[in-house]
């Protein structure tokens, strides 16, 4: 809000001088010197053929007198702006009074967010960790900034893993009841699935006959044949229950619990549209769509950061039907876009929060949808590809024996490590609290990196109660709560006096502008860092001022209000990041 106000004043001043052009203001890059700065005069001077330094002075002289700011020209032609004492008080009060702490809504688009993406019948693993973390935070960010957001978990439930799992269960004699009517109906358990899928998945790589049969079973499920489809539904139910539990623990909430299978009736519709437009052709018995464009180089996903980037050309065709008529990953994604545009409609954007290594898949899917007009031309289809979560060795995070880690193990690890930490601080075991802290640590450790970058999962570092961590932010809010509880006093007029208080206000203003940055970058790192900066500005203030024992009642009341303001700004940011604040820690 401050930046906009200063921009307005400078714009009016330049218009008075009949100077046309954009005036923009940013936070100062030299905070010791001033609070805000404008570098726009260079361009304005160039456009109007004037000496930049002279023009800067003329503009500053023409600024409408104000008690909130001071303006100063610095060579060669910067305008430096400082908030006055009155300015600080004015904006502190405005932030305090505003329900949203001064954060403005900036968009009213309707958006569908596709994140989560867990696979039915397969154990949830670490690869499905970043999507719910990032997706949940982006959803909350978009909503907070005024958008209508619908979240869909889009379960992977219509692929080969179903045929593989069922066939393996069958061969292990677990499905006799359904095929020969022998014995009692078996109770399908998670343990059975967790055993069957990895076994089958390994087998398909070495046993071609088994793979062919699994394809056949998958097709039977997709064709909803008895009893294949009925067994599948039971498997799905067991799996989904587990997925709901884990996503719930991570604080990811979905409006729609749909999966690939829910778009089934749109598969043929989509294929019909594509065929009618003459976009598809048959290749080796499969239905494919050529999506390559002239001269493009497609980066081949790297296996590690230090590998050289290789390219292939052109983009391979999207395969929409297998040799045996079965649907594939791209098919269900295209059908799902058709379903969303038919049943929900009015979507300005559809965004996918999925591993960056699936980039080519989304390029293919999006191109087919645009070519076939399954997605209207003004609808944005966006893949937000996140980087890999690596272990300390810089390779994708695995167990010591080299297996992928199950999500359940990660969650237990978070609880254990957070409990240890709490114990060393003299807090007795409390699962809920440990989960809140552990999840916060992991989320902040994740979200404070640019979304596209790989990062190292270092739980010990993430769990520290000091520094740029989730627990530190939680701890800061708890500390404020405890002071407010002890003070048992209403706040009063905010009167910003010390540098520490000024820093708090500046950091709230910075935090406020970081929402828009996060929105534009589709990455929450800026918001995370700005939250940390505010928490740390608060700590400095707190360490240098006695609040509870302050004798001057007026001062004390101002401190209390300032604390409430910091609490509101921080909780608001943590809520967007989907980080819960415990009562105590």
Q: List interacting residues with ligand ARG (CB under 6 A).
A: 114, 117, 119, 154, 156, 333, 352, 354
What are the tokens at 180?
Answer: 């020969």
Question: How far is 11 from 32, CA to CA, in rounded Å?
Answer: 25
CB of 354 to ligand ARG, least distance (A): 4
Of 366, 116, 400, the C-alpha closest to 255 is 116
Which one, 156 or 582, has the nearer CB to ligand ARG? 156
Question: How far is 390 from 393, CA to CA, in rounded Å?
Answer: 7
Query: According to DSSP H, which parts of 426-583 are helical?
Result: 431-447, 459-462, 470-487, 499-521, 525-544, 553-576
Which one, 156 or 438, has the nearer CB to ligand ARG? 156
CB of 118 to ligand ARG, least distance (A): 7
CB of 33 to ligand ARG, least distance (A): 48
Does residue 398 contact residue 405 with C-beta atoms inside 8 Å?
yes
SS3 373: coil
CB of 541 to ligand ARG, least distance (A): 44
CB of 518 to ligand ARG, least distance (A): 22
Dihedral through CA 386, CA 387, CA 392, CA 396, nearest 10?
100
Question: How far is 579 from 137, CA to CA, in rounded Å?
Answer: 9
**CB atoms inside a 10 Å sphere around CB 146:** 12
Of 136, 152, 141, the C-alpha closest to 442 is 136
Question: How far is 115 from 131, CA to CA, in rounded Å?
Answer: 6
CB of 352 to ligand ARG, least distance (A): 5
What are the tokens at 197?
Answer: 């899928």
Question: How far is 547 from 555, CA to CA, in rounded Å?
Answer: 9
Which one, 114 or 215, has the nearer CB to ligand ARG? 114
CB of 230 to ligand ARG, least distance (A): 23
CB of 333 to ligand ARG, least distance (A): 5
Which one, 115 or 542, has the nearer CB to ligand ARG? 115
CB of 552 to ligand ARG, least distance (A): 58
Which one, 119 or 448, has the nearer CB to ligand ARG? 119
CB of 154 to ligand ARG, least distance (A): 4
CB of 119 to ligand ARG, least distance (A): 5
What are the tokens at 584?
Answer: 């105590």
In DSSP terms, which residues pair with 353 in a beta bridge? 384
Which one, 117 or 491, has the nearer CB to ligand ARG? 117
**CB atoms inside a 10 Å sphere around CB 170:** 18
Angle at 186 between CA 182 and CA 191, to 5 degrees: 140
Which one, 152 or 500, has the nearer CB to ligand ARG? 152
Which one, 77 or 129, has the nearer CB to ligand ARG? 129
Which one, 328 or 418, has the nearer CB to ligand ARG? 328
CB of 340 to ligand ARG, least distance (A): 10
Distance of CA 219 to the CA centre of its chain: 35
**CB atoms inside a 10 Å sphere around CB 583:** 8
The values of phi and psi at residue 384, to 5°, are -95, 100
SS3 535: helix
Of 372, 158, 405, the C-alpha closest to 271 is 372
Which one, 336 or 531, has the nearer CB to ligand ARG? 336
Which one, 222 or 561, has the nearer CB to ligand ARG? 222
How buried is residue 488: exposed, middle or buried, by Cβ count under 10 Å (0-12/13-18/19+)?
exposed
SS3 3: helix
CB of 139 to ligand ARG, least distance (A): 15
Residue owning tokens 């009841």? 177
SS3 261: helix
Which one, 331 or 572, has the nearer CB to ligand ARG? 331
Long-range contact list for 184-192, CB < 8 A, 24+ apart?
A: 188/231, 188/234, 188/235, 188/238, 189/238, 190/238, 190/239, 190/242
Which one, 128 or 502, has the nearer CB to ligand ARG? 128
């Amino acid at each position: 809000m401050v930046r906009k106000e200063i921009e307005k004043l400078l714009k009016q001043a330049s218009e008075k001088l009949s100077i046309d052009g954009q005036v923009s203001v940013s936070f100062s890059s030299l905070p010791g010197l001033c609070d805000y700065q404008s570098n726009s005069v260079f361009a304005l001077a160039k456009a109007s053929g004037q000496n930049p330094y002279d023009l800067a002075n003329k503009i500053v002289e023409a600024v409408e007198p104000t008690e909130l700011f001071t303006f100063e020209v610095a060579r060669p032609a910067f305008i430096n702006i400082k908030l006055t004492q009155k300015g600080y008080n004015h904006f502190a009060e405005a932030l305090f009074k505003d329900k949203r702490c001064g954060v403005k809504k900036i968009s009213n688009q309707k958006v569908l967010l596709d994140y989560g993406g867990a696979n039915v019948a397969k154990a949830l693993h670490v690869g499905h960790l970043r999507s719910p973390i990032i997706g949940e935070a982006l959803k909350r960010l978009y909503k907070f900034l005024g958008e209508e957001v619908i979240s869909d978990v889009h379960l992977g439930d219509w692929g080969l893993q179903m045929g593989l799992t069922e066939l393996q269960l069958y061969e292990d004699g677990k499905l006799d009841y359904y095929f020969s009517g022998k014995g009692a109906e078996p109770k399908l358990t998670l343990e059975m699935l967790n055993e069957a899928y990895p076994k089958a998945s390994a087998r398909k790589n070495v046993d071609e006959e088994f793979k062919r049969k699994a394809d056949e079973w998958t097709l039977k499920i997709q064709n909803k044949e008895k009893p294949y489809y009925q067994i599948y539904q039971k498997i799905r139910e067991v799996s989904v229950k587990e997925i709901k539990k884990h996503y719930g623990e991570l604080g990811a909430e979905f409006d729609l619990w749909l999966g690939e299978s829910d778009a089934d009736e749109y598969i043929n519709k989509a294929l019909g549209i594509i065929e009618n437009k003459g976009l598809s052709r048959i290749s080796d018995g499969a239905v494919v769509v050529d999506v390559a464009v002239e001269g493009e180089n497609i980066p081949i996903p790297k296996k590690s950061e230090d590998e050289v980037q290789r390219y292939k050309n052109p983009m391979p065709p999207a395969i929409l039907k297998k040799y045996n008529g079965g649907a594939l990953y791209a098919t269900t994604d295209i059908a799902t876009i058709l379903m969303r545009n038919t049943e929900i409609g009015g979507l300005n954007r559809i965004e996918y929060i999925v591993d960056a290594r699936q980039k080519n898949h989304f390029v293919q899917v999006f191109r087919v949808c645009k070519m076939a007009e399954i997605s209207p031309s003004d609808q944005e289809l966006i893949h937000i590809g996140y980087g890999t979560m690596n272990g300390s060795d810089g390779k994708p995070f695995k167990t010591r024996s080299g297996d992928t880690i199950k999500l359940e193990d990660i969650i237990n690890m978070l609880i254990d490590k957070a409990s240890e930490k709490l114990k060393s601080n003299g807090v007795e075991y409390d699962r809920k609290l440990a989960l809140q802290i552990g999840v916060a640590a992991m989320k902040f450790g994740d979200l404070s990196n640019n979304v596209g970058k790989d990062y190292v999962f270092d739980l010990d570092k993430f769990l520290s109660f000091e520094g740029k961590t989730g627990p530190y932010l939680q701890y800061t809010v708890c500390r404020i709560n405890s002071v407010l509880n002890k003070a048992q006093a209403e706040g009063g007029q905010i009167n910003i006096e010390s540098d520490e208080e000024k820093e708090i206000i500046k950091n709230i203003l910075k935090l406020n502008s970081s929402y828009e940055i996060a929105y534009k970058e589709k990455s929450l790192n800026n918001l995370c860092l700005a939250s940390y900066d505010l928490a740390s500005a608060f700590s400095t203030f707190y360490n240098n001022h006695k609040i509870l024992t302050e004798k001057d009642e007026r001062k004390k009341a101002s401190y209390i209000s300032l604390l409430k303001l910091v609490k509101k700004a921080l909780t608001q940011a943590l809520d967007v990041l989907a980080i819960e604040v415990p009562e105590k820690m």
